[in-house]
Amino acid sequence: TNDLVAARPYNPNKAGEHGFNNGLAPAPGATAEPASRLPTASTLSEGNSNEKVGTVAPEGVNATIAPLDRVRVDSSGQILTTNQGVPIADNQNSLKYGVRGPALLEDFILREKITHFDHERIPERIVHARGSAAHGFFEAYESLSDLTRAAPFQEAGKITPVFVRFSTVQGERGSKDTARDVRGFAVKFYTDEGNWDLVGNNIPVFFIQDAMKFPDLVHAVKPEPHHQMPQAASAHDTFWDFVSLMPESTHMLMWQMSDRAIPRSYATMQGFGVHSFRFVNAAGESVFVKFHWSPKAGTHSLVWDEAVKISGADPDYHRRDLWERIEAGAYPEYELGVQVFTEEQAEQFSFDILDATKIIPEELIPVRPIGRMVLNRNPDNFFAETEQVAFCTAHVVPGIDFSNDPLLAGRIHSYVDTQITRLGGPNFHEIPINAPVAPVHNNQRDGFHRQAIHRGRVSYEPNSLAGGCPFQAGAQGFVSVPARIEAKEAQGKVRAKPEKFADHYTQATLFYESQTPVEKAHIAAAFRFELSKVTVPAIRERTVAMLRNASEELAQKLADDLGMELPEALPKALANPATPEVTQSPALSLFARPGDGSIMGRKIAILVADGIEGQSAVALHAALTEEGAVPRFVAPRIGPVKTADGVAIDADASLENEPGFLFDALALPDGEAGVKKLAADGHTMEFITNCYRHCKAILVMPASLELVRKAQVPAELPSGDPDPGLFVGADAAQFEAFIEGIARHRHPERETDPPM
């Protein structure tokens, strides 16, 4: 028994208390002052041998790693116990009276196991239920102390740990990743002065202007309540019924129907704070700020047909992509930029900066890069971290403050409130992933699932019995900005909106007119798809009537494509909106951000079969790997391939289990015998057709010309020009050209509607 006890896992939960360096009770008479604000290596629990190899950043330090080690559990080499630490002798059989007799109520081991299992699930998030997350760090480029006293921005090179959760909005926790939907982009900064949550989206505007409408919006977009359909889709009556009666959603609809709503990867989409926030410096002076995240890999989206097919073959497409990029060391990276502007500037704008359906065009206020964020470590446990993380817009730190945006106001309430149900009480801040790295000391006590063991008899302030501790920080603490926009125009209590909020269309036009022709075509196709799923003709008509106010061209195309007469335009709420500052903003096109031009993390299929020429396939594999891409040999079946030249190739994917639309590019091999084998498999034709249809780069080694001919891939573009995404050859120069072709993401010149 002594041996068993000695071998039992050390219980790491007891190792730390929030805010203290090592969580041990202070020596009698010692002050409660923490030795340092950040836990050190010495606080790592002895029981944790779970050092993650390969996922710790080679650059920068992630200060959340050590504090979380306090609760990481590794069972390797340990015996099985109950939750009370009692060793379990038999985990196979319940306790019975004789082998064929009744099970006994006294079997506390069975009952504990089943009871815990019965309560494994917690409510999913009412929106953004489906998500994936990663740890990382933020690094400031320079000091912004003239603008803000927020801890992450105080000096160049300052590192702040972060945890980031990406999500879809409409679908349930188990729904597909590639739905047409807005993506959440929520960042928790564990700053030296407490947690700051920047809970954003990948689209800079929103459907509605006032929190009052949020439950209506969500009820309208969620699966319809009578039959709970459709899942992870906005293409249904109630959504379009609602938005077509809410013309303020027009701008957002343009973004949502654009390719932004089907990103290729979480690593290739932008993020936005959406609302106007405030920066506040140490002198208490404040400016307005909008936050922008830009991916280093560039913005890159799927095409709709591809997204639909992926959702069947790999519903975890984005989750897997994020996980694999990090495991492979191709860390997703984003640059944080800010648009900083004053109240005086804001008053001059043709739109209201408190209106979350409006952007500030970059031509008006440029985006200033202020730092970078690198995601360099996967979570250890999905539930403990990704599911239990609680983002709240109310979590701001000294140096960051709110604007009067009425949508933001509702959010400041909602997020804390929703966690109380979702995470089962008011102590969700103690769940390890939510616990600040900064110390926590206050007189809040008790409640469900309390972890901290508060010492002493004082839980009130002012007090003399604890020497007045914890004491308020005064000007060192969070001080709200006193002056708020429009305070001077205070009209008393009203339920109303400022006049500029009633301009529902100017920026919808700006967005549409700033798109390239292929992007416009995709927007029209997306509206057509969604509206063709709407069963009530009046809803379709009202939507097109609304869109006439944003773009006659788009409305006419939709009327044609949906087989309807062009309806009268919807009456405008504001007949004469202010003249916009810009009518074109190239920055709004996805093509404005090609990224670093690399092909890091791209998945490339190299088709192989018995009888192909191995050497060129292997050389290509090496050239792609060298560029940081992820090439895979895909064959009619997995396992070793007998190449004509005897070069060893092992196929780790099959035509059946990894269809063509899961890859960013395709290479077809040399070697006639092998090509014949591929040609005999119908999967090969589907593979090629999909890669061609989705405008991907295709490398054809000479013997495979037969394959592309058989798949009816046209030798040239519909325009008669050569196809810039087709490369024929098996030499280093063609490999180079192919790599450049992959870096261009896609070759939309090929596209026709309907597809050829």
Q: Is 201 an active-site residue?
A: yes
Q: Closest residue (Cβ) to ligand HDE? A: 184
Nearer Cβ to ligand HDE, position 279 or 687? Answer: 279
Nearest C-alpha neighbor of 433 from the set 59, 3, 64: 64
d(CA 363, CA 509): 16
**Applying CB under 6 A, which of residues 199, 508, 606, 742 lies at the interface with ligand HDE?**
199
Nearer Cβ to ligand HDE, position 121 or 637? Answer: 121
Cβ 389 to ligand HDE shortest distance, Å: 6
Q: Which range in 406-414, 666-674, 700-708, 744-752 contacts ligand HDE by CB under 6 A?
A: 406-414
| 211 is a site residue for ligand HDE (CB under 6 A) | yes
Cβ 411 to ligand HDE shortest distance, Å: 5
Number of Cα atoms under 13 Å in the Cβ half of residue 46:
6
Q: Do 356 and 211 form a contact (C-beta atoms < 8 A)?
A: no
Cα–Cα distances (Å) from 538 to 47, 80, 227, 240, in that order, read 65, 63, 22, 10
Nearer Cβ to ligand HDE, position 222 or 411? Answer: 411
Nearer Cβ to ligand HDE, position 416 or 638? Answer: 416
Nearer Cβ to ligand HDE, position 211 or 688? Answer: 211
Q: Which of 21, 195, 201, 549 is catalytic?
A: 201
If binding means CB under 6 A, how many residues of this protein chain bind ligand HDE?
24
The strand pair at 630-635 and 603-607 is best described as parallel
* Positions in 253-282 near ligand HDE (CB under 6 A): 274
Q: Which range in 14-22, 198-206, 228-236, 434-442 contacts ligand HDE by CB under 6 A?
A: 198-206
Other C-beta atoms lying within 10 Å of the C-beta of residue 723: 21
**Applying CB under 6 A, which of residues 16, 47, 200, 332 lies at the interface with ligand HDE?**
200
**Applying CB under 6 A, which of residues 67, 152, 171, 184 lies at the interface with ligand HDE?**
184
Q: Which of 18, 21, 48, 128 is catalytic?
A: 128
Cα–Cα distances (Å) from 395 to 188, 193, 411, in that order, read 9, 11, 11
| 326 is a site residue for ligand HDE (CB under 6 A) | no
Nearer Cβ to ligand HDE, position 126 or 582? Answer: 126
| 317 is a site residue for ligand HDE (CB under 6 A) | no
**Applying CB under 6 A, which of residues 72, 135, 165, 319 lies at the interface with ligand HDE?**
165
Cβ 184 to ligand HDE shortest distance, Å: 3
Which residue is associated with the tokens 């077509």? 244
**Applying CB under 6 A, which of residues 415, 633, 663, 692 lies at the interface with ligand HDE?**
415
What is the sign of the dihedral through the CA atoms of 114, 120, 123 and 128? negative
Which residue is associated with the tokens 């490339």? 604
CA angle 664–667–668, rounded 5-degree value? 145
- Residue 431 makes CB contacts below 8 A (sequence gap 6+) with 384, 388, 390, 423
Using CA atoms in the order 299, 302, 304, 308, what is the torsion angle rounded to 10 degrees? Answer: -140
Cβ 497 to ligand HDE shortest distance, Å: 15
Cβ 128 to ligand HDE shortest distance, Å: 3
- The contact mask relative to ligand HDE for 451-490 (x = CB under 6 A, - = no) is ----------------------------------------
Cβ 293 to ligand HDE shortest distance, Å: 12
Q: Which helix (H) or strand (E) holds 272?
A: strand 271-272
Cβ 134 to ligand HDE shortest distance, Å: 12
* Positions in 103-142 near ligand HDE (CB under 6 A): 125-128, 131
Cβ 418 to ligand HDE shortest distance, Å: 4
Q: Which helix (H) or strand (E) holds 240?
A: helix 237-244
What is the Rg, in whole angstroms, of the alpha carbon atoms belonging to the chain?
A: 29
- Residues facing residue 103 across a β-bridge: 96
Nearer Cβ to ligand HDE, position 266 or 415? Answer: 415
* Positions in 346-405 near ligand HDE (CB under 6 A): 356, 391
User: Phi first, then psi: what are they for 413, rounded to 5°?
Assistant: -80, -45
- Residues facing residue 654 across a β-bridge: 635
Cβ 274 to ligand HDE shortest distance, Å: 4
- Residue 606 makes CB contacts below 8 A (sequence gap 6+) with 617, 620, 621, 631, 632, 633, 634, 667, 669
Other C-beta atoms lying within 10 Å of the C-beta of residue 89: 8
Cα–Cα distances (Å) from 297 to 300, 326, 630, 664, 747, in that order, read 8, 14, 15, 14, 17
Binding site for ligand HDE (CB under 6 A): 125-128, 131, 165, 167, 184, 186, 199-201, 206, 211, 214, 274, 356, 391, 407, 410-411, 414-415, 418
- Active site (catalytic) residues: 128, 201
